[in-house]
Amino acid sequence: MTPAIKLLQKNNIEFTAREYSVAGDSSGYGMQAANALKQNPEQVFKTLLVVIDGNERKPVVAVAPVASQLDLKKTASVFGGRKAKMAEPALAERVTGYLVGGISPIGQKQTLRVCIDKTAEQFDTVFVSGGKRGLQLEIDPADLIDITHAFVADVSK
C-alpha cells in the first residue's frame, strides 16, 4: 500500500486502484499507463516536479495530461515566477518519496505547491499515479484538487 492510497483511505476519498504491467524502464510512463489501461490520454495525468526561478529548495508540482506537454512558461507564470525547468530526477525522488515513473501528486513526503491542468475538470474521473510504476488511481478531479490542496490553471500545450 502506497502513501497515496493510505492518505486517500484515511480521508475517506473514493478511488479505484488500477494496476498494469510496466514494459521495461521507459520515459513514457504516462502514455504507457494510458495505453495499458485503454484510457483516453487526455484523462490520464502525469505528475511533474518543476523548479521555478532556480529555487531547488522549493520545487513545485504540475499535473498535466500525458497527451500534452507541460508548458514551462505558463507553469512559471502560474507559480509567480519568470522561468521554470524540470527538476532533476534525484531531486524529484528525494522530495516526493516516490520513484520517477511512479510519482503521485498524492501523499508526497514533503508538502509542495500543486497545480493541476484545467483540463482535468472536464472529466468525471481522472487517472494519476498511485505511487509506484504500474499503479494508477482513478479519482474525481475535485477530490484530487482537495487532497493535494491544488489550484487549477492552464499549464499544458
Amino acid at 12: N
Burial of 25 (0-12, 13-18, 19+ CB in 10 A): exposed
Overall size of the chain counted in residues: 157
pLDDT number for residue 21:
85
Residue with the three cell numbers 482537495 = 146
DSSP 145: H
pTM confidence score? 0.93
* Residues in Cβ contact with 85 at an 8 Å cutoff, skipping those fewer than 6 apart: 50, 51, 72
- Whole-number CA gyration radius for the chain: 14
Render pLDDT for 1-37 as a digit per residue (tens, 0 to 9).
Answer: 999 999 999 999 999 999 998 876 556 788 888 888 8
- Identify which has the larger pLDDT, 151 or 37: 151
pLDDT of res. 99? 93
Q: What is the mean pLDDT of residues 138-156?
A: 97
Q: Report the pLDDT value the prediction gives residue 26, as an integer from 0 to 100.
A: 58
**3-state SS assignment for residue 109:** coil
The pLDDT of residue 25 is: 58
**Positions of E strands within the chain:** 15-19, 45-52, 60-65, 84-86, 114-117, 126-129, 135-139, 151-153
Kindly list the structural domains of the chain, giving each domain's residue range(s) and its CATH number in brackets, ordered by start. Answer: 3-153 (3.90.960.10)
Beta-carbon count within 10 A of 29 CB: 20
pLDDT single digits (tens) 73-129:
999 999 999 999 999 999 999 999 999 989 999 999 999 999 999 999 999 999 999
To which residue does cell 494519476 refer? 128
